[in-house]
Amino acid sequence: MKICIIGTGYVGLVTGTCLGDLGNEVIFCDIDVGKISSLKEKKIPIYEPGLREIFIRNFERGRLLFSTDTADSVARADVVFITVGTPEDESGAADLSYVKVVASEIGKSLNRYKVIVNKSTVPVGTSRLVKRIVRENSSADIDFDVVSNPEFLREGCAVEDFMNPDRVVIGTGSKRAIETMTKLYEPLKADIFVSNPESAEMIKYASNAFLATKISFINAIANVCSAVGADVERVAKGMGFDKRIGPHFLEPGPGYGGSCFPKDCKALAKTADDHGYDFYLLKAVMRVNEDQKRLIGKWVEEMLGDVKDKQIGILGLAFKPETDDIRESAALTVLQYLKQRGANILAYDPIAMNNIKSVLNDDIRLVANAYDVAEGSDAVILLTHWEEFKKLEYGKVKSLMRQPFFIDTRNCLDPDEMERLGFVYRGVGRGAC
């Protein structure tokens, strides 16, 4: 099929590249001229494991095209994917302005029947809204369908997730659109779950809110564990054997971040508020998460006392390993907390350094490796569990530090070994400091 992807970010680029690999011809369209120029030169603007190889392979097969001309890109396609951002607005709701602009552009360029697929995360009712905007901007005799097809890929393993999804959700009442979407996804051999658009839209928010709830729950349990002397790692493992609970998303840490959970939880709570339901469970999930991020800064103060003019080393800036995405990363909150109190911050991340530069400017000193972070530091905080941080020579790290305080917010190191090496080690929910 001929596919047009409007919005060539994390989701659009992965979706289009993978659909190209499945044998389709894909036109990537974005308003970001720099992004499209880079892609034309085979330069991928994001870090995502495995993406480069598939991208190059399909680029060379001539299956991937790039454009800033939305009208032309839409006109050439059978299926048009909307994959633009839906950030939170001032009220916490999803900002649909990018989706609306794209819908009107699609309407204006509609030249024959097309399936318009909304892959962006959008509140219930957006399929209807997109349909209305496309209709208002198109000629009345051209037919089209709008499908809600939320995306569940995770940054860091996005290609793997796209190619092997737990399920593909298709929200539409149109048989013709279901046939097109089924044909498109058929090579993945995944379970296809068809529902009405409203339920499809809600599946995405409910899934993200549930996963965020699991994270806040285990973080709350971790804090109780610390208070009573239990080890949350043993607790989570013991809980996870129960099939009703399962082992996933029971990893304590510095709170969830990234471009999805924070904004999607807020948007769902706002939708509920707007419809007269106070979703106080979800509001508590968000509050636990904000508190968790701030707790890390407080732990540093508990260890060092006043942090003014102390040197704090940060290992990891991305919101999780295997991505360069720092949006809503716990590291940002921790850095700001310590910076406001006068600490000097040194930081290193294997991939996300360029992205942090654009946000924090001169607030922190970025260094070339993990050992440079340790050199002269009074405390080191591990915030992203990159594999390379698990494999450091911690004896060397300790010998470089001015004081031996170490906070492992991902519980990825062995507390006994760290103590044997002479660190004053604190994990999350692994007994008191």
In the complex, which residues of this chain contact ligand NAD (CB under 6 A)?
6-12, 29-32, 35, 70, 83-86, 98, 101-102, 120-121, 151, 153, 155, 259-260
**Rounded to whole angstroms, how far apart are CA atoms 186 and 163?**
11
Contact 12, 120 (CB under 8 A): no
Q: Which among 431, 5, 429, 2 is positioned nearest to 217, based on CA atoms?
A: 429
DSSP state of 362: G
CB of 77 to ligand NAD, least distance (A): 14
DSSP, collapsed to helix, strand or coil, labels residue 47 as coil
Long-range CB pairs of 41-45, under 8 A, 24+ apart, other chains included: 44/13, 45/13
Q: In terms of CB distance, is 6 or 331 closer to ligand NAD?
A: 6
Locate all alpha helices (DSSP H) within 321-384, ordered by sequence: 330-340, 353-360, 370-374
Q: In terms of CB distance, is 127 or 344 closer to ligand NAD?
A: 127
Contact 265, 210 (CB under 8 A): no
Q: In terms of CB distance, is 25 or 48 closer to ligand NAD?
A: 48
Q: In terms of CB distance, is 29 or 177 closer to ligand NAD?
A: 29
CA dihedral (320, 321, 324, 328) in degrees, to 10, reads 10
DSSP, collapsed to helix, strand or coil, labels residue 359 as helix
Q: In terms of CB distance, is 233 or 324 closer to ligand NAD?
A: 324
**Rounded to whole angstroms, how far apart are CA atoms 251 and 254?**
10
CB of 161 to ligand NAD, least distance (A): 9
Q: In terms of CB distance, is 92 or 376 closer to ligand NAD?
A: 92
CB of 276 to ligand NAD, least distance (A): 25
Q: In terms of CB distance, is 167 or 420 closer to ligand NAD?
A: 167
**Rounded to whole angstroms, how far apart are CA atoms 70 and 73?**
5
Q: In terms of CB distance, is 109 or 377 closer to ligand NAD?
A: 109
**Strand runs (DSSP E) across 273-421, as ranges?**
311-315, 344-348, 365-366, 379-382, 405-408
Long-range CB pairs of 125-130, under 8 A, 24+ apart, other chains included: 125/198, 125/201, 126/96, 126/99, 126/201, 127/171, 127/172, 127/197, 127/198, 127/200, 127/201, 128/197, 129/96, 129/99, 129/100, 129/103, 130/82, 130/99, 130/103
Contact 202, 124 (CB under 8 A): yes
Q: Please state, in angstroms and as integers, the Cα–Cα distance from residue 403 to each residue in 280, 305, 349, 379, 380, following that order.
A: 42, 13, 22, 6, 9
Q: Which among 296, 294, 270 is positioned nearest to 282, based on CA atoms?
A: 270
CB of 353 to ligand NAD, least distance (A): 18
Q: What DSSP line would sit under 83-134, residue for residue?
A: -----B-TTSSB--HHHHHHHHHHHHH--S-EEEEE-S---TTHHHHHHHHH
CB of 322 to ligand NAD, least distance (A): 12
CB of 148 to ligand NAD, least distance (A): 12
Tokens of 95: 């900002």
CB of 279 to ligand NAD, least distance (A): 19
CB of 94 to ligand NAD, least distance (A): 8
**Closest-CB residue for ligand NAD?**
9
Q: In terms of CB distance, is 220 or 267 closer to ligand NAD?
A: 267
Tokens of 264: 């999607």
Residue type, 339: K
**157 assigned to active site:** no
CB of 275 to ligand NAD, least distance (A): 21
Tokens of 152: 């569940």
* Given the residues 260, 265, 412, 433, the one annotated as active site: 260
The residues that are catalytic are 260
